[in-house]
Amino acid sequence: MSDTRLTLISHPLCPFVQRAAIVLLEKDVPFERINVDLAAKPDWFLALSPTGKVPLLKVSQADGEEAILFESMVICEYLEETQGGPPMYPGDALLRARQRAWIEFATPTMADAWQFLHATDRATADIKQAAFRDRLQRLEEELAAGPYFAGPAFGMVDAVYAPLFRYFAIIDPAVSRPIFEGLPRVSAWRAALAARLSVRDVVVEDYAERFREHLRQHRALIAA
């Protein structure tokens, strides 16, 4: 879409922003990125975002009209439908539907992981770690030969899960290692995603330290 300009409204730590940014980079689409402080949301941002959340994608068209898209997967699907570059879904309708189902599975998986990472007591941490591990086991059973979710081609499912796995490369390996033990396919997938240029380039250089500081501010047990 050479007649449009795209602006991704973002926050440096948001994993949902990263999904959209990964798709933009995979498709080699020029875009501007504007970060907002979600602790002190500016009025212009609140006027644009019905949910008060990021990401937003501002689509500026050649005729001067502007449209705002919100919700990360809505943005990702829009980019898939309108931009060139490699497809992020298979051509077969059944395979495409199955991949979208696993994208839906990412929502509770992210919730369990997030609650584990932010747990402030051992009982909650243990419950949420076990729940997250159970979800990883389901992914282990579904994964193809790799290196990516469905095989050799990087796709939308990969873009969705990559920001989640990034957290576990930042925290203490003594904490993250047992979660992935005995899950060779998930572990290989996680490593392949971490090495992907688009995945690496969507975060700021000091992302790891920012996230650690975020955990400290929330008094997370694993930050102690």
Show the domains of the chain with their CATH numbers. 4-82 (3.40.30.10), 93-223 (1.20.1050.10)
| Residues with pLDDT less than 70, the chain | 1-3, 224
Query: In sequence order, what are the beta bridge partners of 59?
Result: 6, 67
In the chain, which residue ranges form alpha helices assigned H by DSSP?
A: 15-26, 43-48, 72-82, 93-117, 122-142, 156-170, 173-180, 184-195, 197-201, 207-217
Q: Which amino acid is residue 14, in one-letter code?
A: C
Report the pLDDT value the prediction gives residue 143, as an integer from 0 to 100. Answer: 96
Report the pLDDT value the prediction gives residue 224, as an integer from 0 to 100. Answer: 67
Report the pLDDT value the prediction gives residue 62, as an integer from 0 to 100. Answer: 82
Report the pLDDT value the prediction gives residue 29, as an integer from 0 to 100. Answer: 96
Does 14 qualify as catalytic in the annotation?
yes
Report the pLDDT value the prediction gives residue 109, as an integer from 0 to 100. Answer: 98
Q: Which amino acid is residue 18, in one-letter code?
A: Q
Report the pLDDT value the prediction gives residue 2, as an integer from 0 to 100. Answer: 52
Number of alpha carbons in the 13 Å side-chain half-sphere of residue 193: 28
Q: Which of 6, 8, 9, 14 is catalytic?
A: 14
Is the distance from CB of 1 to CB of 28 less than 8 angstroms? no
Which residues 6+ apart lie within 8 Å of 44 measured at CB? none
Report the pLDDT value the prediction gives residue 8, as an integer from 0 to 100. Answer: 98
* Core vs surface per residue 116-138: b (16+ CB within 10 A) or e: bbbbeeeeebeebbebbbebbee
- Report the relative pairing of strands 32-35 and 4-10 from DSSP bridges: parallel
Report the pLDDT value the prediction gives residue 1, as an integer from 0 to 100. Answer: 43
